[in-house]
C-alpha cells in the first residue's frame, strides 16, 4: 500500500499568529487535519479557546499575546518551545485591515498599521531564525492583493503588505543558510468576518464577481495554500509572493 503523502504534517510543529479568527483560524484547523501540532497566538483568550476546540489531534497549545506590546518577542518563542520541541514553521496571519483618506493619515496612524502588519512580521521572522527555536522549515506571511492592486484609501494598508512582499525576497537570501524558506500569500476578497461587516454596509456579491472572476474566496482557499507552502511540496519555493485571488489580478478596470 502506498502511503506517500507530501502534505503530511504529522512531524511538524507550527506557530500561527492571528489564530483566533478568519484566515488564521482556518489555517490552524486545516493544518491540524494534516497532523501538525500547533502553537496558536492571538490577543483574545476566549476566541483562542474556540479555535483550540476546533482542532484535530492533540498536543496543541495557545499563547495569549499582543504582538505590538514588545519590540522583542523572544518570550513568545521561549514559551512555544518550552516542551523541548523546536518549530518547523511560522504563519503570520495577524493583521489589521485599514482604509483612511490621505487627509487623516497621520504618522501615528501609519505607525499603528505598520506595527502589526509589518514590524511584527519581521520580528517574528528574526526570532524564528534563531537555531534554538527552529528545525529549519517554512515561514509564511499573509499579505494581500492590495499590495499590487490597492483600492481607494488603502495607502497605509497596501504599503504594509507591499513591505512584507519585498522583504521576503531579501530575507530568503539570508534564511536559506539556516534551511528556512520564506514566502507570502496574497489573498483577494475572502469571506471572513471583515467581509460580513462590509456586506452589512452594502457590499454586493455582484460587485465581488466583477473584481474576482471566481467570485468570493473562502478562508480554506488561503489555508490550503499556506499548507502547501508549509509542506514538503514547496521545498523548491522561497522568496516568492503567491497570488490566491480568484483571478482578481486579471480584472484591470
pLDDT category, 99, cuts 50, 70, 90?
confident
Residues in a beta bridge with 241: 184
Annotated catalytic residues are 157
Count of structural domains within the chain: 1
Residues in a beta bridge with 244: 187
Q: Report the CATH number that the domain containing residue 174 is assigned in CATH.
A: 3.40.50.720
Total-model pTM: 0.92
Judge whether 104 lies within some domain.
yes
φ, ψ for residue 139, nearest 5 deg: -110, 135
Judge whether 5 lies within some domain.
no
Judge whether 82 lies within some domain.
yes
Poorest-pLDDT segment among 40-54, 76-90, 129-143, 145-159: 145-159
Q: Helix, strand, or coil here: 153? A: coil
Are the C-beta atoms of residues 93 and 27 closer than 8 Å to each other?
yes
Burial 179-203 (b: 16+ CB within 10 A, else e): ebbbbbbbbbbbbbeebeeeeeeee
Please determine, for residue 209, whether its predicted confidence score (pLDDT) is greater than 60. no
φ, ψ for residue 74, nearest 5 deg: -60, -35
Judge whether 165 lies within some domain.
yes
What's the pLDDT score for residue 191?
A: 87
Which residue range forms the structural domain that includes residue 43? Answer: 13-189+218-243
Integer Cα distance of 121 and 171 in angstroms: 12
What's the pLDDT score for residue 202?
A: 45
Judge whether 134 lies within some domain.
yes
Judge whether 158 lies within some domain.
yes
Judge whether 42 lies within some domain.
yes
Across the range 113-123, mean pLDDT stands at 95
Tens digits of residue pLDDT in 151-203: 888 999 999 999 999 999 999 999 999 999 999 999 998 988 765 544 443 44
Integer Cα distance of 230 and 237 in angstroms: 10
Judge whether 61 lies within some domain.
yes
Amino acid at each position: 500500500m502506498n502511503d506517500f503523502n507530501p502534505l503530511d504534517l504529522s512531524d511538524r510543529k507550527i506557530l500561527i499568529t492571528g489564530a483566533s479568527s478568519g484566515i488564521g483560524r482556518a489555517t490552524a484547523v486545516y493544518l491540524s487535519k494534516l497532523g501538525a501540532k500547533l502553537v496558536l497566538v492571538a490577543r483574545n483568550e476566549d476566541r483562542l479557546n474556540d479555535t483550540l476546540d476546533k482542532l484535530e489531534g492533540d498536543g496543541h497549545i495557545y499563547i495569549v499575546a499582543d504582538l505590538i506590546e514588545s519590540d522583542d518577542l523572544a518570550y513568545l518563542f521561549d514559551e512555544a518551545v518550552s516542551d523541548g520541541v523546536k518549530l518547523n514553521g511560522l504563519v503570520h496571519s495577524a493583521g489589521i485591515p485599514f482604509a483612511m483618506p490621505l487627509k487623516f493619515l497621520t504618522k501615528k496612524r501609519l505607525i499603528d498599521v505598520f506595527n502589526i502588519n509589518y514590524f511584527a512580521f519581521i520580528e517574528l521572522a528574526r526570532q524564528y531564525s534563531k537555531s534554538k527555536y527552529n528545525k529549519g522549515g517554512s515561514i509564511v506571511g499573509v499579505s494581500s492583493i492590495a499590495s499590487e492592486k490597492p483600492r481607494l484609501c488603502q495607502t497605509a494598508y497596501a504599503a504594509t503588505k507591499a513591505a512584507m512582499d519585498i522583504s521576503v525576497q531579501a530575507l530568503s537570501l539570508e534564511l536559506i543558510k539556516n534551511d528556512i524558506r520564506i514566502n507570502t500569500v496574497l489573498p483577494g476578497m475572502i469571506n471572513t468576518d471583515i467581509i460580513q461587516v462590509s456586506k452589512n454596509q452594502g457590499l454586493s456579491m455582484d460587485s465581488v464577481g466583477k473584481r474576482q472572476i471566481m467570485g468570493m474566496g473562502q478562508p480554506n482557499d488561503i489555508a490550503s495554500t499556506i499548507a502547501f507552502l508549509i509542506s514538503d511540496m514547496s521545498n523548491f519555493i522561497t522568496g516568492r509572493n503567491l497570488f490566491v485571488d480568484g483571478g482578481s489580478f486579471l480584472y484591470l478596470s
